[in-house]
Amino acid sequence: MRYVARVEVSLKPGLLDPQGKAIEGSLPALGWSNVSDVRVGKYVRLVVDATDLEAATTQVGDMSRRLLSNPVIEDAVIREVVEDAVGNGRA
Amino acid sequence: MRYVARVEVSLKPGLLDPQGKAIEGSLPALGWSNVSDVRVGKYVRLVVDATDLEAATTQVGDMSRRLLSNPVIEDAVIREVVEDAVGNGRA
């Protein structure tokens, strides 16, 4: 069975995020001065071929820690693991 | 009222994603050969000060199109806009 997983990787709170600061700095020029705390991270979407949802979720958790994120400075959050609907798996 | 928004920005389907291909290529070496269709994008989390949820959502949509993504090659999806709980807004 194919499962689609979405993982969000972001810098741990407190670490300097220059990309987020850059976005925050350019928002007032576009007329938005009510935005704060902008943080930018990575978003990874992948398809896992696993026997069941639990196996897929466990594997995605392992991959998040070992490859997709640097656990020293980043947090990885699995946002979703769902069975692949027809066509959804196409990249 | 403060609202926390999460936006995912990813390359449109069909566009070449070298970062995703690189991840896909290194997975077998770690023992995972059942993963495909890896796509990497950006994840943006921000705090908007707005009068209500609707105003916040509308503004995040505008920001996604005008600043956070390049609509020609990227899709931006607002994953969540929720009222900020105490402490959640801290970056």
Provide the ipTM.
0.85
A21 touches chain B (CB under 8 A): no
Q: Give the number of C-alpha atoms closer than 13 A to the C-alpha of residue A44, restricted to the C-beta side.
A: 27
Please state the φ and ψ torsions of residue A42, each to the nearest 5 degrees: -110, 150
Please report which confidence band the pLDDT of residue B87 belongs to, taking 50, 70 and 90 as the band edges.
low
Residue A86: the pLDDT is 65
Nearest to A42 among B42, B67, B90 (CB): B42
Q: Does domain B2-83 have CATH number 3.20.20.80?
A: no
B76 touches chain A (CB under 8 A): no
Please report which confidence band the pLDDT of residue A88 belongs to, taking 50, 70 and 90 as the band edges.
low
Tell me the domain boundaries of chain A.
Answer: 2-15+43-83
- Are residues A13 and B90, on separate chains, in Cβ contact within 8 Å? yes
Please report which confidence band the pLDDT of residue B17 belongs to, taking 50, 70 and 90 as the band edges.
very high
Cβ contact B79:B4 at 8 Å: no
A74 touches chain B (CB under 8 A): no
- Are residues B23 and A67, on separate chains, in Cβ contact within 8 Å? yes
Q: Is 80 exceeded by the pLDDT of residue B90? A: no
B63 touches chain A (CB under 8 A): yes
Please indicate whether residue A89 or residue A9 has the higher confidence score (pLDDT).
Answer: A9
H/E run at residue A45: strand A35-49
Closest-CA residue of chain A to B3? A35
* Cβ neighbours for A86, distance < 8 A, ≥ 6 positions apart: none
B62 φ/ψ sector (left φ>0, alpha ψ -120 to 50, else beta): alpha
Give A7's strand partners. Answer: A44, A78
- Are residues A27 and B79, on separate chains, in Cβ contact within 8 Å? no
Classified by CATH at the fold level, domain A2-15+43-83 comes out as Mth169; Chain: A , (3.30.1280)
Residue B91: the pLDDT is 44
Total Cβ atoms within 10 A of residue A90: 10
Task: Write a three-state SS string for chain B.
Answer: CEEEEEEEEEECCCCCCHHHHHHHHHCHHHCCCCEEEEEEEEEEEEEEECCCHHHHHHHHHHHHHHHHCCCCCEEEEEEEEEECCCCCCCC
- pLDDT single digits (tens) A22-80: 999 999 999 999 999 999 999 999 999 999 999 999 999 999 999 999 999 999 999 99
Closest-CA residue of chain B to A14? B91
- Are residues B34 and A50, on separate chains, in Cβ contact within 8 Å? yes
